[in-house]
Structure 1
Amino acid sequence: MAHCNTVLNQVVGFFKRHEFESIARKHHVGHKFRSFNRWSQFMAMMVCQLSGRKSLRDVVENLKAQGHKLYHLGMKKVSRSTLARVNDGQPAALYKELFHKMLQRCQTVAPRNRFKLAEKVYLLDASIINLCLAAFPWATYRQNKGAIKLHIGLDADGYLPEFIDVTEGKKHEMSWARMLKLPKGSLAVFDKGFTDYEWWQELTTNGIFFVTRLKDNALVEYFKKRPGRKAKGVVLDQEIRLKGMKDKLRLVQFIADDGNEYRFVTNAHHLQAATVADLYKERWKIELFFKWIKQNLKIKTFLGTSENAVLTQIWVALCVYLVLAYLAFLSTIGASMQQILRLLQLNLFEQRDLESLFKPPKIEASPQLVLL
């Protein structure tokens, strides 16, 4: 049998060591490390995410138990106090930049044009991560609650988080959305929380399309109905103008299979009404994205209480998400990210070929009984 490195070693091959060290030098503060480095920190936090470890001590003890299998990773000896100090003191910006560099690599193998549209589709939303205010006093949210907020612009082709920011829990989605640099000609899908007519007008003026739901209390001026045969579920397709907006928009009224009625508003006059409804239905995928990372990655409980330690853990978790997505894109058997993560957790320090790990076991044919 051919020699194989551990599964973990093959997984971290996704990250180019020379690129990592270049970024690490840029984001280092204070004196040089004597017996530690940022790569060792990254490997330890990767193990934390991939194996579901619950504390710094748990991570360090796990690494110590696998010490004879770590030499090929280029890791230094990891102690709990050193890992805690580096998580608190060394900028989390290293992993933010690493994430964006890895995102570019992941996009090269991601699916393309899933919707068969000329426009690139982005799904926008935000999600709260609750924190204990007593333990995280910097994360003020409400009087007796702490929180941070994760803002995401998800590429709907590969469900990769292309636009991302982590802010204080109080920051409204619209404050983040106004700062987004969406490409001209792209199409953004978002919920009612992004209702801001001035921003909608800005998107329209800049050649960016959007699909969202119209609030019940919106002041609407109605114009002619759009001609043509309506698709199943579409009960109204009409030009409108909202108070305070210069350009006309389009109202699509749709009844879903469950009998619920929805009113969608868009500036994409060229799309079919049924496509508008389908695009908004796709917005549910970003809700599933938040649910998935909270259930499968370690971003709800933290190994440190400082803001930098929390951000470090979140950005490393998102880097792990990219690794899992990358492996899922390359999987020839269509393995889901959930399946891949479970297989990695069970085999992280095993010396097995990564590609064969995701293949179903061969079932040998049982001997046939021959009757004479």
Structure 2
Amino acid sequence: MNAGKTLFAQIMDFLPWTTFNRYVEKYDGDCGVRTMTCAEQYRIMAFAQLTYRESLRDIEVCLGAQVGKLYHMGFRGTMKRSTLADANESRDWRIYADFGQRLIVQARNLYIKDDLGLDLSNTVYALDSTTIDLCLSVFPWAHFRTTKAAVKMHTLLDLKGNIPSFIHISNGKMADVHALDLLQPEPGAIYVMDRGYVDFSRLHSLHLAGAFFVTRAKSNMKAHRVYSVKTERSTGIICDQAIALDGFYTKQDYPVHLRRIRFKDAESGRTLVFLTNQMTLPAATICALYKSRWQVELFFKWIKQHLRIKCFFGTSENAVKTQIWIAVSVYVLVAIIKKRLNLNASLYTLLQVLSLTLFEKITLQQALTNTSDTSGQHQLNNQLILDGI
């Protein structure tokens, strides 16, 4: 069935183009367009992500060297960097944001049965943000500090498959805790966050919605113990208590009991204090849940290293958001392909293979099966590969 099709064309066949065209229509993306449609813009930007292109000229030269194969890759003709630059500036970034969210829904359905290793039926999310530094003189709209520009990528990561279920791109000044206002809490789900998200009125809203949270307590938190549960100190759990808040405002913001777990890490010797509204799970599971939050940090490091979200192909806010969303959708697309083809290789290995073979006319299964996966060694060297993907 794939005879004569390049690997790139086969990858693009996994995308729901009918859905993409609906989003283009919704935002009038192709209105008045003569030379480069939104679909072709997406293909070119996806190609840039998969082959690690660093600039518009880089993309133009690379595609220009393979003119005879462009038709078989889904391109109508040669690509000019000025045309792509104009498309990135003018095509509404929400087309690619909505399309990325659609792919995220697909990927999460594929990974829904993955085991977290915590014997939980609940969906577990890790919430955090990462700052993407920009040059203030080139990106003045993203003013962050006196001499610095930046955007923030607020991400809610589904730990089953490490698929981002929610992404919001803001200016660098937006405080992390405000991301909680943008979420639609899922009853029964567990949200794992660091201390930057401790705002008791917002946490109480999560509680009222039937969701659970696990976070760390701030050192200045005022509270008193209501009762304690017996613990086994040999496991590192020093105490497991129900507490009530004592602060004038905090006890109004969160009027019901919280659970406080004090844990001493045997390896580092650090003592950590966790807060949660989940009263029934074992204390060890709560500690393991917070430890799993590190997956979102690894996700940020991974996409910054292996996708193009630090060197941008345009300077406007629209161009930056377009590139970030297409990068995320490419990450999710490769995760979908990995699951649908039942591949054992890591995403890192798949991306490395694809970066060198996109022009080849062989089947995806042939190119990606029996791939020697050296991600274990790579992980030891720089610790940027996500486990299990």
Q: Is TM more than 0.5 here?
A: yes
CA distance in 1 between partners of 2:329 and 2:2 (Å): 30
Q: CA deviation at 1:234?
A: 1.2
Deviations 1:341-367 (A, max 9, x none): 0000111111121112222279xxxxx
| Greater radius of gyration (CA) | 1
CA distance in 1 between partners of 2:242 and 2:57 (Å): 61
Match of 2:87 in 1: 86
CA distance in 1 between partners of 2:160 and 2:149 (Å): 34
220-229 vs 301-310, greater mean Cα deviation: 220-229
**Is 1:175 aligned with 2:185?**
no
Q: CA deviation at 1:329?
A: 2.5
Q: CA deviation at 1:291?
A: 0.3
Matches within 5 A, 1:175-214: 175-214=178-217
Match of 1:320 in 2: 330
CA distance in 2 between partners of 1:361 and 1:323 (Å): 19
Matches within 5 A, 1:259-338: 259-330=269-340, 332-338=342-348
CA distance in 1 between partners of 2:272 and 2:230 (Å): 20
Amino acid across the alignment from 1:83: L
Amino acid across the alignment from 2:265: A
Matches within 5 A, 1:245-264: 245-258=254-267, 259-264=269-274
Is 1:184–1:206's contact at 8 Å kept on the other side of the alignment?
Answer: yes
Matches within 5 A, 1:25-64: 25-28=25-28, 31-64=31-64
Match of 1:124 in 2: 127
CA distance in 2 between partners of 1:190 and 1:313 (Å): 27
Match of 1:340 in 2: 350
Q: CA deviation at 1:315?
A: 0.5
Match of 1:136 in 2: 139
Is 2:30–2:37's contact at 8 Å kept on the other side of the alignment?
Answer: no
Q: Secondary structure at the match of 1:212?
A: strand
Is 1:7–1:352's contact at 8 Å kept on the other side of the alignment?
Answer: yes
15-24 vs 178-187, greater mean Cα deviation: 15-24
TM-score (norm 2): 0.89
Is 2:231–2:239's contact at 8 Å kept on the other side of the alignment?
Answer: no
Amino acid across the alignment from 2:259: R
C-alpha distance 297-131 of structure 1, shift in aligned 2 (>3 A): same
Q: CA deviation at 1:310?
A: 0.6
Q: Secondary structure at the match of 2:359?
A: coil
Q: CA deviation at 1:222?
A: 1.0
Unaligned runs of 5+ in 2: 373-389
Is 1:129–1:149's contact at 8 Å kept on the other side of the alignment?
Answer: yes
Match of 2:10 in 1: 10
C-alpha distance 131-228 of structure 1, shift in aligned 2 (>3 A): closer
Q: Secondary structure at the match of 1:269?
A: coil
Q: CA deviation at 1:55?
A: 1.0
Q: CA deviation at 1:69?
A: 1.6
Q: CA deviation at 1:287?
A: 0.2
Is 2:186–2:209's contact at 8 Å kept on the other side of the alignment?
Answer: no
Q: CA deviation at 1:328?
A: 2.9
Unaligned runs of 5+ in 1: 363-372
Q: CA deviation at 1:29?
A: 5.2
CA distance in 1 between partners of 2:357 and 2:31 (Å): 37
Is 1:241–1:248's contact at 8 Å kept on the other side of the alignment?
Answer: yes
Deviations 1:193-224 (A, max 9, x none): 10111112222222111101111111011121
CA distance in 1 between partners of 2:367 and 2:160 (Å): 26
Q: CA deviation at 1:275?
A: 0.1
Alignment match of 1:160 (pick from 144, 153, 163): 163
Amino acid across the alignment from 1:268: Q
CA distance in 1 between partners of 2:367 and 2:234 (Å): 45
C-alpha distance 29-339 of structure 1, shift in aligned 2 (>3 A): closer
Q: Secondary structure at the match of 2:103?
A: helix
| Superposition RMSD in Å | 1.9
Q: CA deviation at 1:31?
A: 4.5
Q: CA deviation at 1:2?
A: 8.0
Is 1:331–1:358's contact at 8 Å kept on the other side of the alignment?
Answer: no
State percent identity of aligned pairs: 36
Amino acid across the alignment from 2:260: L
Match of 1:239 in 2: 242
Q: CA deviation at 1:302?
A: 0.4
CA distance in 1 between partners of 2:23 and 2:209 (Å): 34
Match of 2:381 in 1: none
TM-score (norm 1): 0.93
C-alpha distance 30-21 of structure 1, shift in aligned 2 (>3 A): closer
Is 1:44–1:63's contact at 8 Å kept on the other side of the alignment?
Answer: no
CA distance in 2 between partners of 1:6 and 1:279 (Å): 43
Deviations 1:303-341 (A, max 9, x none): 110111111100100011101211333454521110010
Q: CA deviation at 1:59?
A: 0.6
Deviations 1:244-288 (A, max 9, x none): 221101111112231222111111001100000000000000000
Q: CA deviation at 1:19?
A: 2.2
CA distance in 2 between partners of 1:122 and 1:261 (Å): 24
CA distance in 2 between partners of 1:330 and 1:143 (Å): 48
CA distance in 2 between partners of 1:353 and 1:42 (Å): 22
Amino acid across the alignment from 2:194: D
Match of 1:369 in 2: none
